[in-house]
Structure 1
Amino acid sequence: MAVHTSRRLIGAAALAVTMLAAGCGYGPGSASEAPDPGTAVLDREADLIAATTAVPTGFDPHRERTSGERVYYYPVFDRLTRAETGGDIVPMLADSWETAPDAMSMRMSLRKGVEFHDGSPFDASALVASITRAQQLPDSVVAPFLTTLERIEIVGDHEVVLHYSAPTPDMPTVLAGPAGAMISPAALADPTRDLRVDPGTAGTGPYLVDKFVPSQSVRYVRAAEENWDPDAGQLARLEIRFIADDRTRDSAIRAGEIDVSYVNSVVAQSVRQAQLAAQGSTLRLVDVPTSQLAALWIQSDRLPDHRVREALVRGIDRDAIADGYYQGGCVPSAQLPREGFPGYVDDFVDPYPYDPAKARELAAEAGWTRFEISYTAGREALPVIVADNLAEIGVETVLRPGTSIEALTAFRTAQSDSFMYSMASEGTLADTVKWTTADSRLSYDDPELAALVEQASRAVDPEDRERINAQLVTAVAEAAIFVPICHYNTYFLVASDVVGFDEALNGESQFMMDLRYVGRVGEAEPS
């Protein structure tokens, strides 16, 4: 049996200690069961099956339908940079970078000796091919984040200079997401290739897709050649399954049918059951703060009267929801960013605190008496609580359950007043707001808000950026285009012999994970 001890996993141990000190860490009774990543001997022939609620719908980073696709294409496509928990940006395929003092350009050095799995070299020309596609593909979802990238100058086989039309200090953060995914030039030049259904050998990641069943599962095998990152690809075989039902996932991991299971923190009972499962068992509960905000999306086209939207925000008791329903597993917040994540404003003043009397007054003044909430069937607890809150201010609420796609479609096509969902960060605060107000999300067009987003994106001086970010957070809250409730933690139940899972989570959203560094403990070979 081949074994390997990972240097990178030592960092994961330090991260776990930090999380425990911060009150996050592992669940009750499970911290002592976690293998020591610094000394663990890994079984390089091991399999692992993970279950999540992210739906496998494709692998093309530049054309992703939802951010949930990243769970499935991250093992295949590496990015230029990578975001760690809390938002720190670290090297990936880019070795280093330096932004000019005026943020009008950035020099980037690329990792040498890296090849795509089809044999094409990863070099400056490959970078240009991938980013050019990201900018010019007709249905690219990442082009809006590259609008200031004017040209890329190749100054060496593994060195480029990115030139901008306006100050762009956050490009390293942008390149940690799908915009920075590197795809083989040979694959891009092949008109018969559809990366959405078959990435093939077009990546540099540690795994190759072996079998893809759309909307069900993806099975991977470790690439035959040694990966450029010796700590990645610790498993011989990896499978990620979409299992929507919380009880099915819970039963599967308790029975040993899967090794990693997402715990739905949207449902408080699921978290409580997971905490119990981790007590005195072979499972441990990993608990990490995320920047994902439970929120009620508001369809401003159907509710253009600001008094109505303000009444909505004032009429919902987020503290009672966080403490009562979530029992402390979700941190109440009136602002989009979470404390400890980029953009959080320490001295933020809530423009519309919970005030049912004022909400009733505003609703009566606007003649608002009826409201609709679309939501995913089976997750009615939060919509029902909100409906009860709104009944207290004289508003009758109609609940419209459906599949996640049906509920979202009803919102996007203005067939419903709102959608009970959440909001996740997209790198910087400015990018998050840009993404949140986009046509594919809230479809909210406000020139003043757009101008603030532009200023925040271009601010080079840290003090200026902090000041503009504070203005942006306040402006978003005052617009009342969604009802902020609370920031989730993310929870996963993990088999006790799984190591490196902490580093798979960066707090981007509840279900987001990158399993490249995950392994399983094996037995040391006899000396």
Structure 2
Amino acid sequence: MSNGWSRRRIGAVGLAATAFAGAVTGCGSASSAAGDGTLAIGTLVDVQSFDPALNPGQGQRLYLDPIYDSLLRTDSEGKIVAGLATQYTLTPSSLDLTLPEGRVFSDGTPLDAQAVKASLEHIKSAAGPASTALASVSEVRVDDPAHVSLQLSAPSPALPIALTDVAGMVVAPSAIGGNDLGSAPVGSGPYMLDVAASSKGVSYVYVQNPSYADKSDQGLNRVEIKVLTDGAARAGALRSGQIDMAQVDRTQVDAVSSAGLVLEYTTGNHWMLQLADVGGQKSSALASKDIRQAIGYAIDRDAIVKANLFGQATATNQVFGPESPFHVETLPQSYGYDPEKARQLVARSGIPSPKFTVPAFGPTKPIAEAVQGYLRAVGIEMEIVLVQPGTLEKENRSTNFGGFLTPIKQVHPEQLYNERLAPGGPQNPFGTVAPTIDAFHAEALAALDEAARDAAYQKMLAEVADQALWIDLFTDDAPVAWAEKVQGVTLQPGWVMGPSLRGVTA
């Protein structure tokens, strides 16, 4: 009997199609301007750690992707393609991976199934942001040097997509267990971090990995990633030629595009206001379903997109769009902009002066302030507490705040459940238990075909909307710009701070 689990498989054809995924498609410029093989990139935040086990991934992949190969990758449409693994087979009880032979890390040690096992076990045991993705992996078995099997304690339909991010980045065994992996990484990617030439919090320099076999990925002799937190400063550095590529602040798009730079957009993050403290431990008002639903109806998403994001986003009331199999056709609560309904719900709650707090920093502060204004207009006070850049992820996992405004890159409901809905999920800091949601999740995992599984996930997401456990706001479009000398750029969904450098030349 087919159970709908094993059909996502990448064979030799998939490998051939993806080996040069970053090399030629999506090139943003027709210019043939010759470069000098160096590339300077400006980015918004400092790297949290070069250890994939401790790095939150997503946007931070810009720092890690040159150094590490991930077991799987995504293409320009966000679909899973071959990475280090040339093929995979997923069943309810295992994920089996086939590895290439003859690969080595930058320090010359073999990259084989045993090394993959050591890396996965390191990431899982570190209990960092990536460990949740591997929570269902009960054992990593080595069948032979080219085959590794991840044994699962429960079905894990989102595991392949998780392995395209930091959970699937393979660290050299020689670097595991030391104290300097976070600052002196060892991987098998096309480039290596030049620790001596780098300056923490200022800039990070990369040079070619001489052990990397596919030279077509190594179009650059030297890469420098500069930490430029100010949007105007990044734009100025782009315009003056001090840097060659950067994520562009929306207020600077016109200035950058008028300077003759290539500017394109990629699907960025989905933004939500997660109301984590539904038990009312920190913010008693959030224990009221009426208050949580009122928050959803109070916010004018379209106005925020127009005023704060210059129209460079899509307002939405759910994570997954109409093109997704997880899209809910009819939500139990639509959360269209309806301030009068919000006021009625606040009144019905019987809670005088409801309030809660959220953390914010630079890029999230204007959005938080816009949401704050709409909530204040219906009688709800959302206090904004500014936190240091780079600490927002940590705060979102703490019980310091009743809710948090967060950009996410979630592409599967299983990730949402594991991260935000499961009682032990890292983004469920108050340990909220939701029996109905748990039941729909169990139904999805037990489904014998994909259609039934998708339907169960839809019911789970509809229940989330009805309970207003989070309020969906918009999915943004991320502007990235680069100089005309830079060729071979492929933008990918979720890579908001800059694309993969594989196949890029300058």
Q: TM over 0.5: same fold?
A: yes
Aligned with residue 237 of structure 2, among 243, 252, 256: 252
Deviation string 1:318-356 (CA, Å, 9 cap, x unpaired) is: 122223443421101000224556733455564433221
State the alpha-carbon separation in 2 of the partners of residues 93 and 10 from structure 1.
Answer: 13
For 1:466, the equivalent position in structure 2 comes to 454
Q: How does 1:97-112 map to 2 (within 5 A)?
A: 97-100=88-91, 103-112=92-101
State the alpha-carbon separation in 2 of the partners of residues 325 and 91 from structure 1.
Answer: 37
The offset of 1:402, in angstroms, is: 4.3
For 1:274, the equivalent position in structure 2 comes to 253
Aligned with residue 299 of structure 2, among 292, 316, 321: 316
For 1:489, the equivalent position in structure 2 comes to 477
Q: How does 1:52-451 map to 2 (within 5 A)?
A: 52-65=43-56, 67-100=58-91, 103-137=92-126, 139-188=127-176, 191-199=177-185, 202-211=186-195, 212-225=198-211, 227-265=212-250, 270=251, 273-279=252-258, 281-290=259-268, 292-300=269-277, 301=280, 302=283, 303-340=286-323, 343-346=326-329, 348=331, 350-366=333-349, 367-371=351-355, 372-377=357-362, 380-404=365-389, 413-425=398-410, 427-437=411-421, 440-443=426-429, 445-448=432-435, 449-451=437-439
What SS does the aligned partner of 1:231 have?
helix
State the alpha-carbon separation in 2 of the partners of residues 78 and 9 from structure 1.
Answer: 14
Whichever residue aligns with residue 177 of structure 1, its letter is D
Deviation string 1:468-501 (CA, Å, 9 cap, x unpaired) is: 2211221222232332211101111111111122
State the alpha-carbon separation in 1 of the partners of residues 488 and 111 from structure 2.
Answer: 27
| Alignment CA distance shift 1:79-1:392 (3 Å) | same
For 1:510, the equivalent position in structure 2 comes to 496
The offset of 1:509, in angstroms, is: 5.2
The offset of 1:456, in angstroms, is: 3.6
What SS does the aligned partner of 2:86 have?
strand
Whichever residue aligns with residue 455 of structure 2, its letter is R
| Alignment CA distance shift 1:379-1:471 (3 Å) | closer
Question: Cα RMSD over matched residues?
Answer: 3.0
The offset of 1:218, in angstroms, is: 1.3
Conservation of the 8 A alpha-carbon contact between 1:368 and 1:395: no
The offset of 1:145, in angstroms, is: 2.2
For 2:10, the equivalent position in structure 1 comes to none
The offset of 1:129, in angstroms, is: 1.6
The offset of 1:314, in angstroms, is: 1.0
| Alignment CA distance shift 1:248-1:93 (3 Å) | same
Conservation of the 8 A alpha-carbon contact between 2:113 and 2:142: yes
Query: 5+ unaligned residues in a row in structure 2: which ranges?
Result: 1-16
TM-score, L = length of structure 1: 0.81
State the alpha-carbon separation in 2 of the partners of residues 186 and 412 from structure 1.
Answer: 31
Give the total of aligned pairs.
476
The offset of 1:75, in angstroms, is: 0.9
| Alignment CA distance shift 1:359-1:276 (3 Å) | same
| Alignment CA distance shift 1:469-1:365 (3 Å) | same
Conservation of the 8 A alpha-carbon contact between 2:298 and 2:342: yes
Conservation of the 8 A alpha-carbon contact between 2:132 and 2:426: no
User: Which has the higher mean CA deviation after the structures are superposed, 203-212 or 216-225?
Assistant: 216-225
State the alpha-carbon separation in 2 of the partners of residues 373 and 106 from structure 1.
Answer: 38
State the alpha-carbon separation in 2 of the partners of residues 173 and 10 from structure 1.
Answer: 17
Identity across matched positions, percent = 24
Conservation of the 8 A alpha-carbon contact between 2:361 and 2:392: yes
Deviation string 1:420-439 (CA, Å, 9 cap, x unpaired) is: 332221x5221134223466
| Alignment CA distance shift 1:221-1:153 (3 Å) | same
The offset of 1:298, in angstroms, is: 2.7
The offset of 1:315, in angstroms, is: 0.8
State the alpha-carbon separation in 2 of the partners of residues 394 and 154 from structure 1.
Answer: 59
User: Which has the higher mean CA deviation after the structures are superposed, 78-87 or 455-464?
Assistant: 455-464
State the alpha-carbon separation in 1 of the partners of residues 392 and 87 from structure 2.
Answer: 43
Query: 5+ unaligned residues in a row in structure 1: which ranges?
Result: 1-5, 17-30, 521-527
| Alignment CA distance shift 1:180-1:460 (3 Å) | farther
The offset of 1:405, in angstroms, is: 5.3
Conservation of the 8 A alpha-carbon contact between 2:274 and 2:469: yes
Conservation of the 8 A alpha-carbon contact between 2:22 and 2:502: no
Deviation string 1:391-423 (CA, Å, 9 cap, x unpaired) is: 331334544444345767666555544433322
Whichever residue aligns with residue 378 of structure 2, its letter is I
Conservation of the 8 A alpha-carbon contact between 1:152 and 1:163: yes
| Alignment CA distance shift 1:462-1:384 (3 Å) | same
Conservation of the 8 A alpha-carbon contact between 1:315 and 1:354: yes
The offset of 1:8, in angstroms, is: 6.8
What SS does the aligned partner of 2:462 have?
helix
State the alpha-carbon separation in 2 of the partners of residues 236 and 434 from structure 1.
Answer: 40
Aligned with residue 30 of structure 2, among 18, 30, 35: 35
State the alpha-carbon separation in 2 of the partners of residues 297 and 406 from structure 1.
Answer: 17
| Alignment CA distance shift 1:182-1:378 (3 Å) | closer
TM-score, L = length of structure 2: 0.84
Segments of 4+ moved more than 6 angstroms: 6-12, 406-411
| Alignment CA distance shift 1:52-1:452 (3 Å) | farther
